[in-house]
Structure 1
Amino acid sequence: MRIFFIFFLFIFSCNKKNTPHNLVFIIVDDLGWKDVGYMGSDFYETPNIDKLSHNSTVFNSAYSASPVCSPTRASIMTGKHHVRVNITDWIPGVDPKNRYLTGPEDIHQLPLRKLPLLKY
């Protein structure tokens, strides 16, 4: 009996080397449950996500920290509840007409080989 037990211990210890698992976490705003091909969408074509889903484990049940996107993203990025990081509502974007134009600091310092469209 002891030899039988040692034999099975030896067999089960000879497994191939453990490799770390890869984790792909896709965050999308306003994605419906049927907006990807592997969930049955006839309208949207998502071949790469479909291929990834057929070769992996898909987690279909989730809990959102907040009904709007900004607090949920803050919770995911920090690992804390969105109230603890003081983000309880969506963060509005900046209107393009109020953005400042930022250009290169000094055009004379750019190497000419980096500007292939310029002809002298």
Structure 2
Amino acid sequence: MLDFILKFYRRPHGARMSARKPAGHMDQHPQNDCDAISYDPRFDEYAIPSGGALQLLSYCAFCGDRLPESKRERWFDQLEALGVKDPWRAELPAEYRSDAWWKAPAE
């Protein structure tokens, strides 16, 4: 199965990644230049767009290693604790628009 994924997603012509280029774990793989995998730094999530939805990845498509746990629930929980009722419509603090909120050292 992994061989199929590698053959299908490998882009030897050097096409660049669209939207958000994966970072972190998948950044170490030279074949990560495919535009089928997106990365959302806010949640530390990798996904394959599928119609209007996303298929989240739990394992690296290139080596099979387990990817970090999503931080999506923590993101929502922390914003709720700050009084943000609808994060999709609210003006969020700058750190919550990137990975800064979870990369910052604990106080």
What is the TM-score when the length of structure 1 is the normalising length?
A: 0.22
Q: Which has the higher helix share?
A: 1
| Larger strand fraction of residues | 2
* TM-score, normalised by the number of residues in structure 2: 0.23
